[in-house]
Chains A and B, each alone.
Chain A
Amino acid sequence: MLGGSGSGKSTLIKLILGLLRPDAGTILVDGEDITLCDEQELTEIRKKIGMVFQEGALFDSLSVYDNVAYRLTEEGIDEDEIEHEVIRMLRFVDLEDAIDKMPIELSGGMRRRVGIARALVGSPSIVLFDEPTAGLDPPTARTICELAIKLRDLEGVSSIFVTHEMNNLKYLTSEYAIVDSEGEVFFEEEGDKLCLINTKVMMIKQGDIIFDGTDEELKLSSDPYIHRFIRGR
């Protein structure tokens, strides 16, 4: 999902999660209209959704470990299993060393990464990323895109990825992940052999969807706003 600052991307994400209520319209999650659900039913639906908040929104009175473990602890899962899973997720976002720190002791980017780990723990089938790469260095941003690609291609996770950065858009719409016979994960560019069709681009302007289609269509679009957005001038 693309869109300028203040165009309503975060708002849309919050609507999908049921954190905000729409005045009109319907929102379907796995075919179920969540605008008709009460808070308790929403809580059940949210259990299959992972959300990366733009501002991190970590629990500041809990350590990094407890933040990431939150969902599993709530579900009453075995402590050993939780620890195993938390360490795996933190290794994934390269924050194993920060496991006992408090959120206040982390940098902005580190907090974002903890937020990602927290959203992905427990393998949700839907993941909402609200600008997960903002404020991160290019290699880390790339890692996060790779993560989203892996979730998409290897684990069958549906996700919405909000971003401003054209790099991210390129990664997400032109690369796919495959596993070779030894179980190693590779990323390959789409090309003559294969064209990626499982990713669509949507653009929002002032709360309206002004574009909905593939990345190739986006590049060919004649809308001057979209043109400016892609080129950056």
Chain B
Amino acid sequence: MNPVSRFLVELQDITLLFWRMLRGFRKQPRYFDEMVRQMDSIGVGSLAIVSLTGFFTGGVLILQAYPTLEYYGAQSSAGQSVAITLIRELGPVLCALMVAGRVGSAISAELGSMVVSQQIDAMRALGTSPARKLVTPRIVALIVTLPLLTVAADIFGLFGGGVVAYYLYGLDSNSYITSLRMGITIEDILGGIVKPIVFGFIIGLISCHKGLTTQGGTVGVGRSTTDAVVLSSITVIIADFFLSKVLQGFFWEYAFLGRILDVRNRNSCGRAGNDLNGNTGDRVSERRSCFR
């Protein structure tokens, strides 16, 4: 088969799997227990690595950005710079990549072994649909937990940034927090939640598909695990670009006015960074009111 038709066949299989998964919601049994179990192993189980990733990413952002900011005399927008990068981009993407590595591989290895040892056949023979029993709970668990994990990563990242700013560069924690609050906007937060929902869906669907289409024994399980991680990571990164673009367009309509004022405010805040007393506080509330 040439690459193009292989891609099309793969796309067809994934779409069909998606369709069967959707039907899984409509009919009994819905496997809520299984969903909760998966949320526990996927969500709670990934909390530690995701928090660590977030913490050190936030730390390194400040570590690299601070000297430059200092050069321009803009130390006080350190928090803002971490907040924007982390919440908009790095939080969701890094979190999704970590989860793709940890959970995507586990899912496709588990389903792949079940295919190879005929357990999927046995399941079908016993009158259960593997799509409904295995795929739906995993994808739902990913869609629910990935945004939560991302929020955890964001919080730890902001905290990590603060720790580095405070201990390494001696930045006052008050000014860090103030500038954080200035850096975070509603659309950042919404975008930061919408993205992981889509990423969770991508990781789940690709990993389940790769697992269920495993061929060729033990080696096949290894191959589909690799494929699942690589393919879902790449898709996450590609989807991130387009999602960012779409979200930008989407929020533009909502916050057209707000954003213009926002940009103006941000500029003035950056410049006003050196005299961080009282003034900025006003500006924060001013900016907030722009959004309402």
Q: Which residues of A contact B (CB under 8 A)?
A: 14, 17-19, 39-40, 42-44, 46-47, 49, 51, 53, 55, 57-60, 70-71, 74, 76, 118
Closest A residue, CB atoms, query B133: A74
Residue of A57, A60, A74 near B128 (CB, 8 A) is A74
| B125 interface residue (CB < 8 Å to A) | yes
When the two chains form their complex, are residues A57 and B127 in contact, meaning their CB atoms are under 8 A apart? no
When the two chains form their complex, are residues A19 and B124 in contact, meaning their CB atoms are under 8 A apart? yes
Q: Give the Cβ gap from A190 to chain B, nearest Cβ, in Å.
A: 33
CB neighbours (8 Å) of A40 from chain B are 23, 129
Q: Give the Cβ gap from B241 to chain A, nearest Cβ, in Å.
A: 35
When the two chains form their complex, are residues A46 and B29 in contact, meaning their CB atoms are under 8 A apart? no
When the two chains form their complex, are residues A46 and B124 in contact, meaning their CB atoms are under 8 A apart? yes
The residues in B between 189 and 234 inclusive whose CB is less than 8 angstroms from any CB of A are: none
Q: How far is the CA of A44 from the CA of B20 in the complex (A)?
A: 15
Candidate in B20, B119, B121, B126 with the most chain A CB atoms within 10 angstroms: B126
Over the window 110-131 of chain B, the binary record of Cβ atoms lying under 8 Å from chain A Cβ atoms (1 yes, 0 no) is 0000000111011111111100
Closest A residue, CB atoms, query B29: A76
Residue of A18, A49, A57, A76 near B122 (CB, 8 A) is A57
Q: How far is the CA of A70 from the CA of B122 in the complex (A)?
A: 11
The residues in B between 91 and 139 inclusive whose CB is less than 8 angstroms from any CB of A are: 117-119, 121-129
When the two chains form their complex, are residues B118 and A57 in contact, meaning their CB atoms are under 8 A apart? yes
When the two chains form their complex, are residues B121 and A71 in contact, meaning their CB atoms are under 8 A apart? no
Closest A residue, CB atoms, query B16: A39
CB neighbours (8 Å) of B129 from chain A are 39-40, 43
Q: Give the Cβ gap from B262 to chain A, nearest Cβ, in Å.
A: 51
CB neighbours (8 Å) of A74 from chain B are 29, 126-128
When the two chains form their complex, are residues B118 and A53 in contact, meaning their CB atoms are under 8 A apart? yes
Q: How far is the CA of A118 from the CA of B150 in the complex (A)?
A: 42
When the two chains form their complex, are residues A59 and B119 in contact, meaning their CB atoms are under 8 A apart? yes
When the two chains form their complex, are residues A55 and B118 in contact, meaning their CB atoms are under 8 A apart? yes
Q: Give the Cβ gap from B137 to chain A, nearest Cβ, in Å.
A: 14
Q: How far is the CA of A53 from the CA of B28 in the complex (A)?
A: 27
- Chain B interface residue count, CB cutoff 8 Å, equals 16
When the two chains form their complex, are residues A39 and B20 in contact, meaning their CB atoms are under 8 A apart? yes
Residue of B23, B28, B29, B119 near A60 (CB, 8 A) is B119
When the two chains form their complex, are residues B125 and A51 in contact, meaning their CB atoms are under 8 A apart? yes
When the two chains form their complex, are residues A46 and B121 in contact, meaning their CB atoms are under 8 A apart? no
Assuming A39-B20, A76-B29, is B126 touching A71 (CB within 8 A)?
yes
- A43-B127, A46-B126 given; 18 more Cβ-contact pairs under 8 Å: A17-B124, A17-B125, A19-B121, A39-B20, A40-B129, A42-B124, A46-B124, A51-B122, A51-B125, A55-B118, A57-B119, A57-B122, A58-B119, A59-B119, A59-B122, A60-B119, A70-B126, A76-B28
Assuming A39-B20, A74-B29, A76-B29, is B125 touching A49 (CB within 8 A)?
yes
Q: How far is the CA of A51 from the CA of B119 in the complex (A)?
A: 12
Q: What are 29 A-B pairs at a CB distance below 8 A? A: A17-B125, A19-B121, A19-B124, A39-B129, A40-B129, A43-B128, A43-B129, A46-B124, A46-B125, A46-B126, A49-B125, A51-B125, A53-B121, A53-B122, A57-B118, A57-B121, A57-B122, A58-B119, A58-B122, A59-B119, A59-B122, A59-B123, A60-B119, A74-B29, A74-B126, A74-B127, A76-B28, A76-B29, A118-B126
Q: How far is the CA of A74 from the CA of B30 in the complex (A)?
A: 10
Closest B residue, CB atoms, query A46: B127
When the two chains form their complex, are residues B127 and A47 in contact, meaning their CB atoms are under 8 A apart? yes
Q: How far is the CA of A125 from the CA of B118 in the complex (A)?
A: 23
Closest A residue, CB atoms, query B28: A76
Closest B residue, CB atoms, query A20: B121
Closest A residue, CB atoms, query B27: A40
Q: How far is the CA of A30 from the CA of B129 in the complex (A)?
A: 21
Closest B residue, CB atoms, query A118: B126
Assuming A39-B20, A76-B29, is B127 touching A14 (CB within 8 A)?
no
When the two chains form their complex, are residues A60 and B124 in contact, meaning their CB atoms are under 8 A apart? no
Q: Give the Cβ gap from A61 to chain B, nearest Cβ, in Å.
A: 8
Closest B residue, CB atoms, query A62: B119
Q: Give the Cβ gap from B99 to chain A, nearest Cβ, in Å.
A: 22
When the two chains form their complex, are residues B117 and A60 in contact, meaning their CB atoms are under 8 A apart? yes
Q: Give the Cβ gap from B29 to chain A, nearest Cβ, in Å.
A: 6
CB neighbours (8 Å) of B128 from chain A are 43, 74
A-B pairs with lowest CB-CB distance, top 4? A57-B118, A57-B122, A47-B127, A51-B125
Assuming A57-B117, A60-B117, is B122 touching A71 (CB within 8 A)?
no
